[in-house]
Structure 1
Amino acid sequence: MAGREDCILAAVRAGATAEDAASIVDDMLREAQTMKAQGQLAGLEKALAERTMNKAEAMRRAALQERRQAAITIVKRDAARQFIQQAKDSGASFADAVEAMLVGSAKRFAGSRESVSRLRSSLRGLWGGSLANELERAGVVDLLQKDHSFGESAMREMIEPGSTGDDLARATADIFSRYLEDFRQRLNEAGADIGKLDNYAPQSHDSLKIRKAGQLEWIRFIEDKIDWQRTLPDADGPFLHQQDARRDFLYEVWQDITTGIRNKERPGTPPSAFRPRNIANSLHKERVLHFRNADAAIEYQRTFGQGNIVHAMLNRLDSSAAKLALMEKFGPNPEAVIRGLIDEEALNMRKAGMADPEKVRNLWKGERSGRIANYYMALSGEMGTPENLTGARVSAAIRGLSSMAKLGGAFLSSFADTFIKAAALRHSGVNMLESWQQGLEMRFESLQGTEKRELGRQLGVYTQGLLGDLYSRFDVNDALSGRMTRWMNSFFKLSGLTGWTEAHRAAYTFNLSNRLARQLEEGDFSRVNKDYAVVLERNGLKDRWNLLQKMVQQSEDGEHYVIPENAYRLSEADLEAFLPEHLRDYDFYARQEKEWRTQRRRFRGKRLRNEVPPGTRSPQRPNAPAPDEWQTMRSREAERIRRKLAEDVMGYFSDETGYAVLEPDAKTRAAMYRNTRPGTVAGEMLRFAWQFKSYPVTYWQRIVSESRWQSASSLPEGGFSSWHDARRFTGDVPGMIHFTLAAVALGYVSGAAKDIAKGREPRDATKLETWMAAITQSGGLGILGDFLLGTTDRFGGQAAGSLLGPVLSSGSRLLPITGQLARGEFGDAGADAVRWTVDNAPFVNLWYTRGALDYLLFFHLREALSPGTLKRAERKLKEEFNQGYFKIGGLDLTPSHNIRKGGGFRSGMPDVHGF
């Protein structure tokens, strides 16, 4: 057998350093002793030699990957520094620039909206829309949504191609596998090192089922279903060694699934020192569960999975988009780059003698604290990863039930949002009257026609309903189980809110695309409306105007639209001006060669004349690639430019639509939840307190703080210096007046719609309380208005408990009932208990069903328990709001008019005579 030094030499020849080679060989020798003790001597020398070479090759590959990541990091860090300096030159601060790169900035400077958050939405729109269109063209959408067995057939085809004999399942499997490969390649380009996954299907995991089964039972169930050669190829050696490695691996997987924390230390081990997370390395180290065959994978999916193959694909799409967006902006280790930029800025400020460098350091304090740290946690997904999964799931389920009890009338509240679309249009240059005309016309966008649906998906809309994403306007989708998610989806669809919002989002996106196409037809960028020019510049589209002109497409309705995917149709000739100099013309290298020869002659002359200092090297000859290699480099760069353009256009549509149809984003969650996580005491308290308040927070962030009532060109360069900056309110006085009046007027309309749905007359317009409530309904004051003005909120909750959240507020209403019971007021306690139960029952309070159920059942129960309660409620309504119920012709909707004291209809049925 070869000696230790010979083995070390062999490992060094394979690519390992001398130190690593010695470590490898010593490990192998220790294992050889173990194998000898166990009597496993057959082929020992050959096995150890092969393993030594394999480990040396793995270490060489890891070293190459480390150098590659270092090179990518340098490029991304330099790009970030350059952007920060450009932002400063435009009047923005360092914090504004970093905020712009992460979640987008309200300040006016070039690229202030080109954020990680926007890129993530753009990737989801491009990938999701393309995937949805391909599935529809294949004719499998209905099958995937309604036939569970077809989803399993598609999964089987991904793992065992050709095993089902079903052409549709085979086509679906091919589509999914191609997208998985696209995700892998993009992540690898950004710095990851993920191996090709052949015959693989992504697996979903229901963490509640897994936790309920327990760690040992889950490991016993899955252990014999895994293809260990593919899943854990480095767990070779003696059998006992393999067993230990597999158990450790499954322990880590179980911890990851049930706690969301990868590679968590076993109980009793000292915690490791905190280090910024390298996303690229985590992707490389992220183990993929390869099952022995399709039967094993499907059995696991049925027992411990969630949803079907579509659910697993959507999870992979979303996680890939989130990680890729961060890596594209900041490199393989985004956290380290961001913290390094902050430390560097603070150091430069201290050296320059500038005041308060600690303000910069406070952007990211300690491990996870500070404004920028909160943004990063929201973008990386750490803010949504439960610390205690059971606690997070239970709390999320309670909030979900509360949502289905309280948001039945949210569709009517959405009427007030029309003015936000009008303000967004006016901000980008549409005149006031036309903005209202377009805003009112954008009520619904027709879904009729295959081409229209396909066009919508190419613009990043119409994918939510098809792909099954949970509606997130009120940020109620944290840590929900699969069953609760389905209930929530059904609830919002029944309420009309999902269809209303998706239609408005689609209509506004179509408007953006069509308007951009019409502006492009005008010719030069100099002819663009000045407000619209500012918006395009903030989104980084100004310098590629001539490329955008080649992306216009005419639809079947005769209108023209800019389609992001059309960027991939641009030729290399179209992109010539955007290619680096060395890729525009191969003669560039000949010119470099000529310049080098001239410099070399001059250098030799100086050296002969002793004019060159000792040790000075001669100019280096340029390294010109071969023509075919140069063409490959050129084509690769052209593809990168196309891709960047497609993502920026999609990002522009997504970001601007977010100003017209408000939904919470990463910036909103960072502001509300800070650095807390679900399943912690602080995290759950904040999530309960902020429930239903994400809309007002988004409103204040995106509309009020950014002064979106102003035309874009009236905003100061670099943004406002502070909240006290008078230009925030005086820069566009007509816009501010228009915005305020429109908000209040439509808030009144929304409140009136809710009253009408309850059978009541609209509130008295002469009372101040009515208009205060209208401001609240518009979202203008949100929860602050509820609390200070003493009105009910936009979902019907009482102001007294607003700061505690709807769940705790509803719970506090039980206390008076216990007091009534203690005093022996059983009738009043029963009536109030019925009302509390009805108000907090899921699905009961839909705006079009609650009124009918009241008259048919609930009013009668209240009267039976507390006779005269309806009459007393009517008097209180009249005293406080001068409001009664509708009396139209022979129809009187006053409850006490139709329901006699003690319950039951006065004449058996409501009085509808003469109506």
Structure 2
Amino acid sequence: MAALDCIDTIQAAAKAAGRELNEEEMVELVGDLQARIKQLQATDGMLGLEEAAMRAADEMGNQVKLAAVIEKRNALLNARRRAELVGYIRSTWSDRPDLGLESFLVGTNVARAGARRSVAAEQKQLSQAYIAGFLNDIEKEGLLPFLTRGDLDQDIADSLWRIGMDKPLDGLSKEAVSIAKIMQKYQEAARIDANRAGAFIRKLPGYVVRQSHDPYKLQRAGFKQWRDEILPLLDERTFEAGSDVDGFLLATYNGLVSGVHLKVSTGQPNGFKGPRNLAKKVSAERVLHFKDGLAWNQYNKVYGTGSLREAFLGGLDRSGDSTGMMRRLGTNPESNWNAALDELQLDLKNDPEGLRKFQQDRNGLLKTRFSEIDGTSRMAVNHVGARVASNLRAWQSMAKLGGAVISAVTDLPVAASEMRYQGKGMLSSMGTLIGGMVKGKKPAEQREILSTLGVFFDSVRGEVVSKFSADDTLGGKMSRAQQLFFKLNGLTWWTDTMRSTAALMMSHHLAYNRSLDWDKMNPDLQRTLELFDIDAGKWDMLRSTPSKEADGREYMTTQGIDSIPEEDLAGYLTSKGRTVNDAAIGELREELRGSLRSYITDRSSYAVIEPDARTRAIMRRGTQPGTVAGELLRFVGQFKAFPVAVLQKSIGRELYGRGYEPSAYGANVGKELMQAMRSGNGEKLGVAQLMLWTTLFGYGAMSLKDIVKGREPRPADDPKTWVAAMLQGGALGLYGDFLFGEANRFGGGLTQSLSGPTLGLIDGGYDLLARLRDGDDTAAASFR
């Protein structure tokens, strides 16, 4: 039986599954079938042509059936996600679809239901849940030193490969085997979550971790050297029998150098229709199969983006990003997003000005937000240029931020103001935060609670640098140098302790309020929970869960959600008019976990200010590393991630997060900053308290710096001292730098504050202030 004779068999299988193959698919199928026949005969020399053709036809017929089933499932998933998005905007944001769509992607401060339960928040809570759980398990087993020192990487990789191939583990370090088993546990959890969201990822024999490829290293080596070094390491199943090995590797090399693998979504293969189909991308089997764990490790050391640990954690990050995207936007995120926008655009057909504004936002603001959650803004165009520029910024960071931990004392009133927003007292919150700082490292019980909430420690992963930079193109050695730098200057310890204390305070605050019905709860806490799609019904289920006890206090965690009775979950679904079945009940349980974890991880980044996807979108404006515009913005934005995040989160929260009502869509909203202050919901008091306390702590930080330098602290009766204290504390921030021309928090003056320490000649601040003063939408929007 020849290849062409098998087509009828496969087409019949497709029809039986309710789907006919089109002409393009038939042509592609012939090539695939012929290649598979050759591969079968090459594997088994005794296999005749007819038997090989029959076996190939059966295999591909089954694949077509499976693809048809998956395609149908994903079509339903995509239609549902699209309907949820459109319904959410129409029901909650009909007056301001632009704010609603931005809230859906990256979150805003506007106090409406679900405004912080964004795609970015879903990605973050998933990634951090995997990583925090993994790190907690590693610490509990006493394996952290063995993982971080790196000399067991080869044994760990070999263990993972042998476990996946069901081979004996003789001769391997017991610590390496234990670490490998914990790694496999979380990789399997991430795989299952992705499949539930729409992917179809099989367990691959010999899987180590998600392979990382550094485009800069590949480009520097060139194709020939890369090919010659990787070829001996690859398993023969990488190549189809009779295929052009050089051509295959060249296509793979070009794809890896382009950086397209760094995007969250791409590709449009069979069985998963739509542009840049994410489900197919994350479902795809690895293109490059290594002979064993040792071969994987050898390649990773030369061409990977870091150590085995970094590749593993990076893989969990990527899994969280992909699954979070699919959970909110379906298996074809970009296609579904555009289809939803097309539908919403029709609602404005009788409003010419609104339609014009919608199209403008679609091609501008919303596009920059989408590029952050789908990874476009992380794809370097010129890898050499991007690496050189990021290393230069890293040197500037280490040169300028040696005393940053002293400036960080102003984090205390910022964190306390967040707790005040949630209904706790400012002074009592500050006392709890100071107590947490004095106690230092959290005991094991508290660390376990934090892990269930998706909170982990920078001292383990070394990401504290993100507090000051939106830079993610840094080279491995320079990145590790920065991590060590911030560890030695105390900033890593400070950030870890502050964040964990704030997260525990929030978890305890929820447990403390569990006895209260929804309508008896403090309105401030109620409003905060609604931002994460927690309503009265969900609160009743959450407060019924058993709490976790540590240090004599009770904490609400995600662990208790497993104990919620199915009838309670079914009752909630019925009350919302949703279908009740096992899958829906499981999905609601996961929704509750996601909402609670998002509340903790997101509001912790308000307490201990960290740039988020929205901050990066504001600063990068959709540009890519290695482009002139992209690098210019990254230089200008150096050290600005923190002050911009303060404006966006702390100031924006107080102005827009207490009941502010936006103007009609299409109207000029720049002057609403002052209108928001007059809303009468506590905006003035919130901003005033924030400025007062950060100024007082700013004076303390400034005095500490003077003492460290051997100088007398500045006189408290000099008005200039308090202006400087406001600048130091962040009360005036970047805008204060322009108004008063004083040194900023990180040691730079006016021009460096406006254009970054490297490009100290670019004067852009006046334009920003002037646009804000004159009512420019873009400037005002940075606060929301």
| TM-score when normalising by structure 1 | 0.74
Distance 1:676 1:480 in 2: 17
CA distance in 2, matches of 1:144, 1:98: 41
Verify the 8 A CA contact 1:342 1:361 in the aligned structure 2.
no
- The answer for the alignment partner of 2:48 in structure 1 is 43
- CA separation of 1:289/1:754 partners in 2, compared to 1, >3 Å: closer, same or farther? same
Q: CA deviation at 1:766?
A: 4.0
Task: Say if 1:8 and 1:299 are closer, same or farther in 2 by CA, change over 3 A.
Answer: closer
Structure 1 counterpart of 2:183:
176
Partner of 1:640: 587
* Alpha-carbon distance in 2 for matches of 1:501, 1:810: 32
Q: Report how far residue 196 of structure 1 moved.
A: 1.7
- Aligned to 2:473, the other structure's residue is in SS state coil
Q: Deviations over 1:26-77 (max 9, x none)?
A: 6589989999xx9x99833333443344444434433333222211110101
Q: CA 1:199 to 1:505, structure 2 compared with 1: closer, same or farther past 3 Å?
A: same
Instruction: Select which of 224, 230, 236 maps to 1:228.
Output: 236
Counterpart of 1:58 in structure 2 is 63
Whole-angstrom CA distance in 2 between matches of 1:779 and 1:110 = 30
User: In the TM superposition, what is the alpha-carbon distance from 1:221 to its structure 2 partner?
Assistant: 1.3
What's the secondary structure of 2:555's corresponding residue?
strand
Matched with 2:218 is 210
* 1:23 Cα deviation after fit: 3.2
Percent identity, aligned pairs only?
Answer: 31
Distance 1:796 1:771 in 2: 17
CA contact (8 A) 2:14 2:68 kept: no
**Aligned pair 1:98/2:106, yes or no?**
no
Q: 2:777 maps to what in 1?
A: none
SS in 2 for 1:808: coil
CA deviations over 1:725-768 (Å, ceiling 9, x no partner):
45522322433332232232222222222222111122234444
Gaps of 5+ in 2: 264-273, 764-784
- Alignment-derived partner of residue 476 in structure 2: 482
Matches within 5 A, 1:44-443: 44-88=49-93, 92-146=95-149, 148-161=150-163, 162-163=168-169, 164-202=171-209, 203-229=211-237, 231-232=238-239, 235-236=240-241, 239=242, 242=243, 244=244, 246-262=245-261, 276-285=275-284, 287-350=286-349, 352-353=350-351, 355-365=353-363, 370-443=364-437
1:553-632 paired onto structure 2 within 5 Å = 553-580=547-574
Do the aligned partners of 1:457 and 1:463 also contact (CA within 8 Å) in 2?
no
Letter in 2 for 1:359: K
For 1:550 and 1:224, the matched residues in 2 are separated by: 58
Distance 1:418 1:363 in 2: 37
1: CA distance, partners of 2:28 / 2:88: 45
The equivalent of 1:728 in structure 2 is 676
Q: CA deviation at 1:583?
A: 12
Structure 1 residue aligned with 2:523? 530
Name 2:738's counterpart in structure 1.
Answer: 787
Amino acid in structure 1 at the alignment position of 2:520: R
Give the match for residue 868 of structure 1.
none
Local SS of the residue matching 2:380: coil
Tell me the amino acid that sits aligned with residue 289 of structure 1: L
CA distance in 2, matches of 1:277, 1:579: 33
CA distance in 2, matches of 1:25, 1:740: 67
Q: Distance in 1 between matches of 2:572 and 2:481?
A: 50
Match of 1:746?
697
Q: Is the 8 A contact 1:693 1:782 kept in 2?
A: no
Specify the code of the residue in structure 2 equivalent to 1:688.
F
Name the CA distance, whole Å, in 2 between partners of 1:81 and 1:445.
48
Following superposition, which runs of at least 4 residues in structure 1 exceed 6 angstroms of deviation? 28-35, 581-584, 718-721
Distance 1:737 1:694 in 2: 23
1:500: how far off? 0.7
CA drift at 1:129: 1.9
Deviates more, 1:102-111 or 1:450-459: 450-459
Contact 1:116 1:325 (8 Å CA) reproduced:
yes
Question: In the superposition, relative to structure 1, how do residues 556 and 743 fare at CA in structure 2: closer, same or farther (>3 Å)?
Answer: closer
Q: Displacement, 1:372?
A: 1.0
Larger displacement relative to structure 2 (455-464 or 185-194) = 455-464
One-letter amino acid of the counterpart of residue 360, structure 2: N
Provide the aligned length of Structure 1 versus Structure 2.
Answer: 730
Cα separation, 1, equivalents of 2:576 and 2:758: 63
**Residues 444, 504 of structure 1: 8 Å contact kept:** no
Supply the AA of the counterpart residue of 1:378: E
> What's the counterpart of residue 707 of structure 2?
756
The 1:797–1:551 alpha-carbon spacing in structure 2 relative to 1, beyond 3 Å, is: same
**AA at the equivalent of 1:746:** F
Report the 3-state secondary structure (helix = DSSP H, G, I; strand = E; otherwise coil) of the residue aligned with 1:568. Answer: helix
- In structure 1, the gaps of 5 or more residues are 265-274, 589-632, 813-915
Q: Show the counterpart of 2:782.
A: none
Contact 2:458 2:492 in 1 (8 A): no
CA distance in 2, matches of 1:750, 1:307: 36
CA separation of 1:188 and 1:288: change in aligned 2, threshold 3 A = farther
- Give the match's secondary structure for 1:357: helix
Counterparts in 2 of 1:386 and 1:2: CA distance versus 1, 3 Å:
closer
CA distance in 1, matches of 2:433, 2:180: 42
- Alpha-carbon distance change, 476 to 364 in structure 1, aligned in 2, over 3 angstroms: closer
Letter in 2 for 1:136: E
How far does the alpha carbon of each residue in 1:315-366 deviate from its partner, in whole angstroms, 9 at most, with x for none? 111001111111111111122222222222222211x34533021112222x
> Would the alpha carbon gap of residues 117 and 372 (structure 1) be closer, same or farther in structure 2, given more than 3 Å must change?
same
Name whichever of 793-802 and 654-663 sits farther off. 793-802
Deviation of 1:204 (Å):
3.4
Q: Judge conservation of contact 1:743–1:775 (CA < 8 Å) in 2.
A: yes
Question: Does 2:644 align with 1:697?
Answer: yes
Tell me, yes or no, if the aligned pair for 2:381 and 2:627 is still in contact at 8 Å. Answer: yes
Are 1:111 and 1:538, in contact at CA under 8 Å, matched by a contact in 2? yes
2:410 is paired with a residue of what secondary structure? Answer: helix
Amino acid at match of 1:780: A
Task: Tell me the equivalent position of 1:540.
Answer: 533
Measured after TM superposition, the shift of residue 430 of structure 1 is 2.4
Q: Measured at CA, do residues 263 and 125 of structure 1 come closer, stay the same or move farther in structure 2, by a change above 3 Å?
A: closer
The reply to whether residue 715 of structure 1 matches residue 659 of structure 2 is: yes
Q: Assess if the C-alpha contact under 8 Å between 2:691 and 2:726 holds in 1.
A: no
Q: How does 1:872-887 map to 2 (within 5 A)?
A: none
Deviation string, structure 1 residues 469-503 (Cα, Å, up to 9, x no partner) = 45310125421122111111111111111111111
- Secondary structure in 1 matching 2:324: helix
Q: Which residue of 1 aligns with 2:27?
A: 23
Q: Give the drift of 1:531.
A: 1.5
Distance 1:171 1:806, change over 3 A: same
The answer for the alignment partner of 2:768 in structure 1 is none
Cα distance in 2 between the residues matched to 1:666 and 1:470: 16
- Report the Cα distance in structure 2 between the residues aligned to 1:181 and 1:217, rounded to whole angstroms: 34
- Distance (whole Å) between structure 2 residues aligned to residue 659 and residue 740 of structure 1: 16
2:726 is matched with: 775
Instruction: Provide, for residues 595-633 of structure 1, a one-character-per-residue CA deviation record: whole Å limited to 9, x for no partner.
Output: xxxxxxxxxxxxxxxxxxxxxxxxxxxxxxxxxxxxxx9
**Is contact 1:444-1:500 (8 Å) kept?**
no
1:404 CA drift (Å): 0.3
Aligned-partner Cα distance in 2 for 1:209–1:112: 41
Contact 1:377 1:675 in 2 (8 A): yes
C-alpha RMSD of the superposition: 3.2
Match of 1:908 in 2: none
Distance, in Å, in 2 between the alignment partners of 1:109 and 1:178 is 37
Report the Cα distance in structure 1 between the residues aligned to 2:29 and 2:431, rounded to whole angstroms.
77
Q: How far has the Cα of 1:165 moved from its partner?
A: 4.4
Further displaced range: 338-347 or 69-78: 338-347
Q: Contact conserved, 1:108 with 1:718, CA < 8 A, in 2?
A: no
Q: CA deviation at 1:724?
A: 3.0
